[in-house]
Structures are given as structure tokens and as C-alpha cells.
Amino acid sequence: MRPRLLLLDGHSLAYRAFFALPVENFSTATGQNTNAVYGFTSMLVNVLRDEQPTHVAVAFDVSRQTFRTEEYSEYKAKRNKTPGEFSSQLPLIERMLSSFSIPFIKAPGYEADDIIATLVTQALADEESGLEVLILTGDRDSIQLVTDRSTVLYPMRGVSDLARMTPAFVEDKYGVPPHRYPELAAIVGETSDNLPGVPGVGAGFAAKWINTYDGLDNVIAQADKITGKKGEAFREHLGDVIRNRRLNALVRDLDLGVRIDDLVLGEWDRSAALELLDELEFRGELRTRILDVVAPTEDTPVEPGVEVDGSILAPDAVGAWLKEVGDATIGLSVRGTWGSGTGRATGLALALADGRAAYVDVDAMSPADDAAVAAWLADAERPKVLHNGKGPLLALAAQGWSLAGVVEDTALAAYLVAPDQRSYDLADLSLRFLHRELAAAEDDDQGMLFDETDDHGGQARAAMVQARAALDLSAELADEVERAGGRRLLTDVEMPLVGVLAGMEQTGIAIDVDHLEGLEAHFGEEVRAEAEAAYDVIGKEINLGSPKQLQVVLFDELGMPKTKRTKTGYTTDADALQKLAVLSPHPFLLHLLRHREVIRLRQTIEGLLKTIQPDGRIHTTFHQTIAATGRLSSTEPNLQNIPVRTEEGRRIRESFVVGGGYECLMTADYSQIEMRIMAHLSEDDALIEAFRTGRDFHAETASRVFDVAPDDVTQEMRAKIKAMNYGLAYGLSAFGLSQQLGIETGEAASLMTEYFETFGGIRDYLTGVVDEARRSGFTETIMGRRRYLPDLTSDNRMRREAAERMALNAPIQGSAADLIKVAMLRTDAALRSSAMRSRMLLQVHDELVLEVAEGERDALEALVREQMAGAADLTVPLDVSVGTGRSWHEAAH
């Protein structure tokens, strides 16, 4: 095999991965964010598998302070401050590299590009070795390193699609050979590096000058000969151009202390790698890919994709093509954009199992094409398969098209098969289930400089391959869904819910902007006031966000009790300081905690204000595949993190109001839904009877535990039993209960004993559900939703106990999630059949928020109560609480 050196720009790739994958979707049980590690490792494993390098190294930046910033202080100055969630992941990436025996290199005062340039120069100098060099980077400065023996692999979008920048590619795209690329960038400027270019001069003119005068030096020497306004601008900004060229030149002679021979790919450290994978909770597809690449046990061929026999349909040809394929099941991939309750479709890719395919350019359609597509999309008898269909549905709706006949959504199918996966990307699923490498359909290089062309045909073909992949994946997942017991959930709940959620996203909820802006100002002032109050207590100003400065004040100067020790000192995280405030309520600490709280509230409000659309409403995005328990989640903004039990949270909810032309908002939720599910699953007679009395549930259960009449239950008794009722399904321990109630652990243990003596069926159920999950490997909800828990048999005590808590929680919380989804489907269907104008707006936890049309309040309440109460047939009644009001807060009950 020809020797091949792979060099990676670690910082650039990790940063790209951080923003490509939502940070809120990637974290461990301990709260460690892992999205950058996940994305970087995924990209690394892919390129190791695909390129089979013999030598590998990763270069990292040390800091933003380099010789370039010393010369030009504005260099990269407009880049945002590095998020702490990102910085904390860099040591984990380095540990991952060490376990793979891949060296990583840093050079203080220089950038990763300079390290790579030095290694490329060393590698190419040894012509006898025939060493081929591959550079994986998201930084365009490395284009200057491209030669006949060195190629840049540039991430086009996200972390999965790479362009191979050969000399021909570079010259074709930019109009100059690779070694002239930095001269081009010097003239045009680099926004990402904050290097201003010559105003009004684009890539085309810059390339023309460079080619005409044979290089930038000659362009500068003969600047007086360049005529017109562009020539004037060039001469006026000549100093910028010369500085840009000096700064974008990569250093090629650093003393790195390593030779190319030191970069030979070595044997991986199996125990270290597996320990880190466990620590990061990387399971499923990525873990399998990692082990297959660094420690393959068998050869699993990976196909480069699949050929499709298709093309872009000419105008007026769509109807004939659809008529020819008849009622065959078609894989559909929608190209376009979507979000905030709307979207735009630019193309439709269609594929059949026999290899036939077609691409419809939406912008080029004739009226006949539009009518043919609309009829086919709306025909429920013509089966279609999509991947993650809600976004495409919004894009189609914006085009005026409705979608029916979807027989499979492969993202939802994969979610039911493997609910603990971090991502359900089509490319990853194709690799896992079909052993097929899949190029992204969105392969236009939006992140690249001077993008003046568009490979429309290439994009169309990639989209058709995606459509075919969804179709093939559907067939492959069918048996998996059956084995997971998820067919009913998929066809009766998850897939029908897509349309309901899309409708809610389109509608959105109205916002009182003035009220919200007033709150922002209020909390902003309180942030300042709490900071000043904290400074007054200690007699000086410090950075309240700096753990090191806080450690000095709290533990050295104020002598407060030490918290848990970490590598950087004693922890100052929120949980630790909350506990510390109970033990030692020092005024400084109280002001600090309040300062943190109001910052969080202000940030929540800022996030809400940014997402208000021109119609005066917020259109959140609902997600079905994030929570392993089946719960829905929302983003942009996340409406589930708005506090409900605090005064500040209620003030924020006052900003969500009824829209014009409607009477009020209505909220409806299940009363004590999780305990009702517990009663149903445990079949505990005493618990069932406590619900059937219709009295205060917590007081009723307290009277049984303490053996007193319900009227004699004190508030203290009720509080203790309420904590028990809600805590048991989450694996609450005697210590945890003692912490919640502020009592001794022994007293909490006695209370738990009394509780289980009264409700023996709950004790037996909780013990049995863990034992059964340990035998079967999974838990199940009332509707058969499974959660797989392999760590129930782990040798690691902490991992095993965490899995046991999940085994207790998943059937309860998952069943509640299933019930609210069924309630939404029933309510939506009833609203449609009744022809009422009222509509659903939000689903948050166990609550539905609706907008009530004029004159429909009583009818809507009756409808909602009936549909929610009928969502499941439990041994105890499903009690529904309903409230109305002008705002979300006023509608609370």
C-alpha cells in the first residue's frame, strides 16, 4: 500500500462539529457536553475507514494569541468568545486520540495551519517515499498546501460530507492554482479571519488580475496600470492587501519535535478507548463504527452508495413520469429549507426500489407539473416513504401542497428501534443498516469562499440517492420495528403525530412583546443590582462567573465549608452552592445565587424575543426523537424550560397570550398522571382506592401511611408523602428523600418502610420491573414503547445503578408521554370533525395549550376533557384539569 499521511486540523473540525450537532442533545448523565467529541470522532472514524492512512497526526491551536495577532490586533477579532461547553470537550478529544494512538501536536504562538504546513513540507520533501498527504480541515488557508501529492479534504456541510480539493478542483473553482489562492484571498479578504479585502473587487476580478500579471507581487508592482474604480479601490487599500498576504502565508519550518516517521498509525489502547466510550456514553452506531475501524473483527463491506437511473425531469414531464410508476411505493426526499413553522421546497427527489428515479426542480415547474405533483402528494392511496418528514411537510405546505399516503418515516422507525441514539441522520442509518456510504443531498458548499457555481445535477443525483436510501432503509427497518414491538406506536401514534405537530408549529402562539421587553429590562437591572450587592458584601469587584475567583472568595477569604474537590479546586457549580447556602447562608453567597438565577431568566427572555416572527407569534419546533422515554421536546425556543412553579416563571408565561380574533387561551393537563400510571401498572389496591375516593390524593395516601383520618393529615405529613409519591418512580433513595425533606436519613428510611407496608403492590412492582428489565434487557410502557438498558448487567456500580433508576422511570414517564400523544391525536381529530375554529398551540410536558375561538369555550372544554380522559383505559380514572385566561399564566389551574 502506498504510504499516506493524514493531517487533521483538530480545533477547526471540533468547532465545526460543536455547531453542527445541537449541544442540548449530547450530554452524559453527569452533565458533560459531548457534541463536539461525538462529531469530531465520527468524522475521524469515517476518514480513517475511507482513506486507510498509514500515518496520522492532529494539530491543535493553543490560544488565539499568535504572532499574527501581535502584528494585527484585529486578526480574528470578530469571532465570538469560545463557549465553555466547547472548551470542556477538547481534553476529551485529546484522550480519544491518545486511546487511538494518534499523536496531537501544538505550537504556542502559532496556529494549527502552521503545524500542518510544516508537516506537509517535510512529507513532500522526501520524494523517494512517495508519501501522499491528505489534509482534513475546515480552514481555507490550507488550500495553499494543495499539490499533486497533497489534497485538502474540506467539510462542505456539517461533519459528514467532504470535498476533495485537488489542484484541478481549486483552479476550476477559484480561477487560480492552489499556490496563488492566498494571493486571491489577500485581495478579496477573509471574513472569518477579519481581514478586510478591496471593496467592490470579487473573486473573478482578483483571479483575472493575478493571472494577467503573473502573481500578486506583479499586480502590486503594476497597480497604476489597473484602470477604473476597482483599480482605484485596489490602490487605496494596497496596505490591507499586503498585510493580508503576509498574515495568510502559512509557516512551513516550525520546530515541532516530531518527524514524519513518528506519525505512523499505531495500535489502539483498547482498555482506554472502551473506558472513554463508556464515560461519554457513546453507544449504538458510532460505537460500532469506532470498533469496526480501530479494531475490526470481521470485514463488513461498505458500498459507496447505490446507482439510480434518473435525471432532472423536463418541464411538463412530471405527470407522465408519475403516471408511469403507478401505485408503486416511492421514496421521497424534499430539498429545501424549513423551520419556525414554515419552509420552502426547491426540489423533490423520487426513487423506486427497481432503480428508477427522478428529480423535480420546483422553481422550473410548469402549471401542469404543479398540478401533477400536488395530486400525487395528496393521494393517500399512493404510498410514500420519507426520512424525518415534519420539516419537508412544512416546506411542501408552504408551496401549497398537502401530503398524504406516508407509509413510513424512517427516522421515527429507527427511533423506536434504538431510542437511545444521539442522532438519526440518514447517512448514519444507511451505514449502520444498509452498509452503504451516503453522500448528503445538500452538498452545495455554502461555507466556501467565492461560491459562484452550483452543481445542480450533482445535487439532484445525491437527493435521488437519498430518496432511494430512505426506501431501502424502510424495508430494512420493518423487521427491526416488529422485533422492538413498535409497529403500533409507529403507525398509530408517532407518524400521525407528525402532521399534528407541523400544524401547531405553523400556528404558533401570540406574544405580548411589550410585557416581555419590560421583563428583560427588569431582570437586566436585577442582574446589575445583585452583582453590586455581592461586591458590597466582600468590599471589591470580582468576576462572578470565574470559578477560580469564586474559590478564593468563598473558601479562602470567607472560610466557607469546602465543596467537592475537582482538578481545578473546589467546585462552584449550582448544585454545590445551593447545598452550601443551606449550610452557610452567607449574604455574598445568597446574592451570587440570585445573580445566577436572574441571568438565566434574562437569557431565557432574550431567547424568546429573538424567536418572535413577523406575525407576532413564536413558532417553536417540536422534536419526537430526542428523549429516549418518548417525551416530546421543543427548540428555537425551548418552551419546556420556562419555570412554572416560581413567580418569575409565571411572569414570563404572562407574555404568551391569546391572538387576535380569538377569545382566550385554554390549558388542559392530566392530574397526577404518573401516579395514576403507577397505580395501573402496580395494581396496588390501596393506591387504586386512594384515587377512586376523589379526595386530595396526597392527603389520602398520607392518611393511610400515618394511620390517621384524612381530616387529621397535617401539611407536614402531606408534604412527606407527596415527595414519596413522586420520588419512588425515579428510584428515590432514603438519602435522597432525607435531602428533599431536610430530615435524617434514618427517619427517611423509616418513612419509606411505612409507605411500602401500606402500598405493598408498589414495592413489588418496583422490584419486579428492574428484575424483568435485567432479564429482557429493556423496559416497556403501557403501549409497548421499549427502552433498552444494557447497563443493568454492568460491572460498574454507578452505571448499573443509573440503569436501574432508568428502568424504574422509563415505563412511568414513557407511558405518560404516550398518553399525551394519543390525547393530542384524539383532540386534533375531534376538532376537525366538529368544524370548530379553536386550535392546539403547544404541548409542554403533560399540558396542552389551546386557542379558543369566540363562543366555543364551553364546547371546547367538554371536547378536550372527553378526548384526554379517553386516551387510555386505566384501572383508575384519568382526571383532566382545565383553565382559561388571556395569557398562559392566567389559564393555569
**Would you state the pLDDT for residue 157?**
59
C-alpha 632/C-alpha 626 separation (Å) is 8
C-alpha 512/C-alpha 655 separation (Å) is 5
**Would you state the pLDDT for residue 451?**
32
Checking if the pLDDT of 447 tops 50, the result is no
C-alpha 803/C-alpha 799 separation (Å) is 6
Whether 602 and 717 share a structural domain: no
Checking if the pLDDT of 446 tops 80, the result is no
Indicate the pLDDT class of residue 327, thresholds 50, 70 and 90.
very high
Indicate the pLDDT class of residue 307, thresholds 50, 70 and 90.
confident
Whether 586 and 725 share a structural domain: no
In a domain, 607, yes or no: yes
Q: Which H or E run contains 883?
A: strand 880-885
How far the first Cα of the chain sits from its last, in Å, is: 71
Whether 741 and 780 share a structural domain: yes
**Would you state the pLDDT for residue 282?**
80
Whether 92 and 145 share a structural domain: yes
- Strand spans (E) along 560-641: 565-566, 569-570, 617-618, 621-623, 633-635
Return the top range by mean pLDDT from 270-279, 728-737, 773-782: 773-782
Nine cell digits for residue 337? 429549507
Pairing relationship of beta strands 565-566 and 569-570 according to DSSP bridges: antiparallel
In a domain, 647, yes or no: no
In a domain, 206, yes or no: no
Cβ partners under 8 Å of residue 786, min gap 6:
416, 419, 484, 485, 486, 778, 779, 780
Indicate the pLDDT class of residue 631, thresholds 50, 70 and 90.
very high
Cα atoms in the 13 Å half-sphere on the side-chain side of 816: 25
Average pLDDT over residues 351-363: 95
**Would you state the pLDDT for residue 304?**
61
Q: What is the pLDDT of residues 143-168, one digit of tens each?
A: 999 999 999 998 875 445 678 899 99
Residue where one domain finishes, among candidates 618, 647, 665? 618
Q: In one letter, which amino acid is 71?
A: E
In a domain, 388, yes or no: yes
Q: Please give the tally of structural domains in the chain.
A: 4
CATH number of the domain enclosing 10:
3.40.50.1010
Cβ partners under 8 Å of residue 812, min gap 6:
674, 677, 678, 681, 729
**Would you state the pLDDT for residue 231?**
86
C-alpha to C-alpha distances, 131 to 101, 154, 183, 494, nearest whole angstrom: 20, 20, 27, 52
Give the distance from CA 156 to its chain's centroid.
Answer: 19
Pairing relationship of beta strands 132-136 and 150-157 according to DSSP bridges: parallel
Grid cell 405527470 is found at 319
Q: What is the pLDDT of residues 785-842, one digit of tens each?
A: 999 887 787 656 677 788 888 898 899 999 999 999 999 999 999 999 998 999 999 9
Indicate the pLDDT class of residue 21, thresholds 50, 70 and 90.
confident
Whether 390 and 432 share a structural domain: yes
26 vs 807, residue with greater confidence: 807
Checking if the pLDDT of 763 tops 60, the result is yes
In contact, 389 and 475? CB cutoff 8 Å: no
The average confidence (pLDDT) of the chain is 88
Whether 474 and 529 share a structural domain: no
pTM of the complete model: 0.69
Q: Which H or E run contains 406?
A: strand 406-409
CATH number of the domain enclosing 748:
1.10.150.20
Whether 467 and 524 share a structural domain: no
Q: What are phi and psi of 511, to 5 degrees?
A: -125, 135
C-alpha 239/C-alpha 730 separation (Å) is 66
CATH number of the domain enclosing 569:
1.20.1060.10
Whether 424 and 570 share a structural domain: no
Average pLDDT over residues 290-308: 63
Indicate the pLDDT class of residue 574, thresholds 50, 70 and 90.
confident
Return the top range by mean pLDDT from 285-289, 292-296, 716-720: 716-720
Residue 773, SS3? helix
C-alpha 717/C-alpha 698 separation (Å) is 9
Residue where one domain finishes, among candidates 593, 618, 643? 618
Average pLDDT over residues 508-518: 97
How does 431-467 read in b/e, with b if 16+ C-beta sit within 10 Å? bbbbebbbbbbbbbbeebbbeeeeeeeebbbbbbbbb
CATH number of the domain enclosing 370:
3.30.420.10
In a domain, 847, yes or no: no
Nearest by Cα to 701 from 730, 716, 715, 722: 722
In a domain, 612, yes or no: yes
In a domain, 19, yes or no: yes
Indicate the pLDDT class of residue 296, thresholds 50, 70 and 90.
low
In contact, 444 and 346? CB cutoff 8 Å: no
C-alpha 619/C-alpha 614 separation (Å) is 11
Which of left, alpha, beta for 422 (phi over 0: left; psi -120 to 50: alpha)?
alpha
**Would you state the pLDDT for residue 449?**
30
Whether 320 and 257 share a structural domain: no
**Would you state the pLDDT for residue 794?**
65
**Would you state the pLDDT for residue 737?**
82
Indicate the pLDDT class of residue 870, thresholds 50, 70 and 90.
very high
- Strand spans (E) along 472-562: 509-511
Checking if the pLDDT of 566 tops 70, the result is yes
**Would you state the pLDDT for residue 62?**
86
Whether 332 and 459 share a structural domain: yes
In contact, 426 and 466? CB cutoff 8 Å: yes
Whether 517 and 421 share a structural domain: no
Query: Which residues constitute the domain of residue 474?
Result: 309-443+454-486
Integer-rounded Cα radius of gyration of the chain? 31
Give the distance from CA 721 to its chain's centroid.
Answer: 37
Whether 686 and 581 share a structural domain: no
Return the top range by mean pLDDT from 103-112, 137-146, 503-512: 503-512
763 vs 792, residue with greater confidence: 763
Residue where one domain finishes, among candidates 618, 653, 684? 618
In a domain, 573, yes or no: yes
